[in-house]
Amino acid sequence: SVRGLDDAHGFELLLAQDSSQEVLPQQRTAGVWLEAARLQRRFDVIVNFSSEWLPMYQTFAFGTPIVHWVQAGSRADPAVEDMVARLASELPGRLACSTRAQAMTTFPRGGEAFTALGSGLDLSLYAFQAELGEGIAWADRVELEE
């Protein structure tokens, strides 16, 4: 795990640059991580929010710790599954997800190494309604590859 971080630390967001050329998502990811490698000495920790294998692989090559908040749904890419299993074995403090159930069902090999961070909804603020009303709400996110 990463120790010594407190509220006084700032952050910088690295995003893939827009381009007039069509690029594949994998190329965009590689570009972001090349930039992160170049800038890594400026940071105490790097947080990865993608569910791709490349940033997980980079964890072993960077001098600056990389932690991964994996937002994968119910299925994962085999390469991601392999990287999660390796991280769980070699660097277990570097994996996080929303819930323990998400980690254990999505990543049977390595799910136990995840820290559950929770999500943005406090369910105690909402009353369960067994009967359907006139309205319905749904909160979700869609990945580019879906």
Closest CA to 70 of 14, 30, 110, 12: 110
> Based on the structure, what is the number of domains in the chain?
1
- Average pLDDT on 86-106 reads 90
- Tell me the β-bridge partners of 47: 67
Closest CA to 59 of 34, 94, 30: 94
What phi and psi, each to the nearest 5 degrees, are found at residue 47? -110, 125
> Distance between CA atoms of 88 and 28, rounded to whole angstroms?
26
Q: What's the N-to-C CA distance of the chain in angstroms?
A: 31
The more confident residue out of 146 and 45 is: 45
- Give residue 134's identity as a one-letter amino acid code: E
pLDDT in tens, 12-46: 666 555 544 454 555 778 888 998 999 999 888 99
pLDDT in tens, 38-94: 999 988 899 998 888 899 999 999 999 999 998 765 456 888 889 999 999 999 899
> Distance between CA atoms of 73 and 15, rounded to whole angstroms?
23
Domain boundaries, position 27: 1-146
